[in-house]
Structures are given as structure tokens and as C-alpha cells.
Amino acid sequence: MRTFVHGEAVWGVACPQRPSRVAGVTMAGFRVRDLDALRMVPHPAVTLLLEFGSGSPVLDGAAGRQRGSVVAGPGLGSGGAVWARGENVECVQVRLSPVIARAVLGASPAELDGTVVALDDLWGREVSRIRERLAEVASWQDRFALVDALLARRCEAGPPVDPEVAWAWDRIVGGRGLVRVDRLATELGWSRKRLWSRFRSQIGLPPKRAVKLVRFDHAAHRLVAGQDAARVAADGGYADQSHLHRDVMAFTGVTPATVAGEPFLAVDDIAWTGPGTPASGVPRR
């Protein structure tokens, strides 16, 4: 386990030694003595938080407060509306590609409706058993193996998304959000309405929103890396720096300068960089 220090934030961070057997899954482990008001910055993945420590993370959002193990759809924290807190937090955080999330969760990301949902509401008593097993094993690598086996089993049993929807998602992620939705529909031979309907119901976001979210994610990580906002805007497909500013404000509720100092993003260089995971932390299929 490595130590992440960023301003007043001090976290223990563990990473799997091997990539997941399930394409579209990345994991990291966190141990935080005092998690004080961490802003959740939106990213293009479904978030699955499996806690097992003596404390318990708390997520506060517009829809209310959730404790313990939770799941949230892509874009968690849009508008700066979700904050994490807690003491003595230990958890495995999983980022699921929306393409496999429906199979793993047993519910479409669209059913999460942009809110944080208690995992018990989806998996019932299984969540308590998972918590107990994570607390019992001796090492982080054993915990990652346990979670990976669980996700693989659920993924194999769950329904896949339409191959056309998976293709469209891959194009958006691979193009870093610099794609046109109407062109995706044309290449599929679908109408825009059909693409919107299938994509929204299976991925959890309308395609245009997905494009904006992926584009924002790459821009935000470049800002965290210290790159000039004007250059980030020019390279990231924004009309100008003001356009980037508006987009960042819409997704986070704060300015690009503030986003550049967010611990939630700065930890990515430790927690989410590995085989099959680009710098943005978005798992590829």
C-alpha cells in the first residue's frame, strides 16, 4: 500500500498486481483515517464502493445521505453535488465500464438515475456477506481477487448490452469525446432517436451527455497535470477557454483552477494507472 499525500489529504492506496479478468473493470483499495469533505468529481464510469472497515464512508448529495457500500451511475457528482466523508474508512472502489455495468449490477445504470444508491437495494443480503469476507482476508491482493471473482461471476450471468451500443461507447471513449453523435448514428445505420433511446437505457446517459462527460474527464486530468487551460481547451475540442470554463463549472460547480487541485483527481496517478486503464481512469472494454 502506497501513501497518497495531497494538501491535507493523506490516504493509503493499494492497487491490484494483475488486471481484472473482466474487461472494463478497474479496482483500487483505500484506507483513510479521516476523510474530510471530498468533492466527488464526475467521471465516465459506474462507481461501486465496497466498504469493510471499522468506520463507514458517507456520501452526501442532493438526493440525501448514503452510508456503507454504494453504487452510482456515470457522472457521479455532477454540479459538485456529492461529497464523501468518514473516519477509519477501508474500501475497495471499482470502476465499471457502463458497457458491462448492467450485467454486473443486475440493473441498468439508467435505473440509478444519476444518484447514489445503497448496494443493499440491488444485491440484498449478499452485501453483508461480501463485507464480512473482505474484512476476513489478510491482504489487499486477496481482496482484489475476491472482488474480481464476484464481478466475473455476475458479469457472466448478466445480460450484455447491444453490440451497437457497445461500439458507440467505445468510439466515444476512444475518441476522448471528440466525436459527433449524428455521425455515430449514421455509421450504425440508426436514426438519432434510436441511438439515443438504446444508449440511454443501457449505458445510463444520453450519447451527447456521454460525449461531454468523456471530453470533460480528459480535460480535467490535463488541468490536474498542470497544463495551461487555454491549451487544454484548444486540444480538447472546446470552442475557447470560456467554453471549457463553463463545462467545468457545469460538471463540478467550481472553476478549472479549483478542479486542478482536487484530491479525487490527483490520486488517479497512483490508484488508477495500470494495464488497460488510460490516464483518465476510464476502463476500456
Q: Above 50 in pLDDT, residue 85?
A: yes
Q: Which residue has the cell 473482466?
A: 22
- Burial label for 162, CB within 10 Å (0-12, 13-18, 19+), is middle
Distance CA(98)–CA(107), nearest Å, equals 11
Distance from C-alpha of 194 to C-alpha of 192, rounded to nearest angstrom: 6
275 — pLDDT class (breaks 50, 70, 90): very low
Note the pLDDT tens digit of each residue in 38-72: 889 998 999 999 999 888 888 887 667 888 899 99
Domain boundaries, the chain: 2-157, 163-271
And the C-alpha cell for 109?
445504470
CATH (residue range 163-271)? 1.10.10.60
Place of cell 480528459: 218
Q: 2-157: what fold? A: Jelly Rolls (2.60.120)
**Strand duo 70-72 + 46-51: pairing:** antiparallel
Hey, do 2-157 and 163-271 end up sharing a CATH topology, with the first three levels equal?
A: no
| Closest-CA residue to 89 (of 46, 120, 58) | 58
What is the distance between the alpha carbons of residues 89 and 13, in angstroms, rounded to a whole number? 12
| pLDDT for 276 beyond 70 | no
Across 23-48, average pLDDT: 92
- DSSP line for 170-222: HHHHHTTT---HHHHHHHHT--HHHHHHHHHHHHSS-HHHHHHHHHHHHHHHH
Listed in sequence order, the DSSP H helices in the chain are 98-105, 120-123, 126-136, 140-157, 163-174, 181-188, 192-203, 207-224, 229-235, 241-252, 256-259, 263-266, 268-271
Q: Is the pLDDT of residue 78 over 90?
A: no
Q: What is the pLDDT of residues 165-215, one digit of tens each?
A: 999 999 999 999 999 999 999 999 999 999 999 999 999 999 999 999 999
Buried b (16+ CB within 10 A) or exposed e, 163-200: ebbbbbbebbbeebbebebeebbeebebeeeebbebbb
Of 13, 68, 51, the closest CA to residue 134 belongs to: 51
Give the range among 28-37, 39-48, 91-100, 109-118 with minimum mean pLDDT: 109-118
Report the pLDDT value the prediction gives residue 257, as an integer from 0 to 100.
Answer: 93
Cell numbers for 156: 457472466
Say which DSSP state 82 is in: -
146: left (phi over 0), alpha (psi -120 to 50) or beta: alpha
pLDDT at 274 over 90: no
Beta-bridge mates of residue 91: 30, 51
Q: Which of 24-33, 109-118, 261-270 has the highest mean pLDDT?
A: 24-33
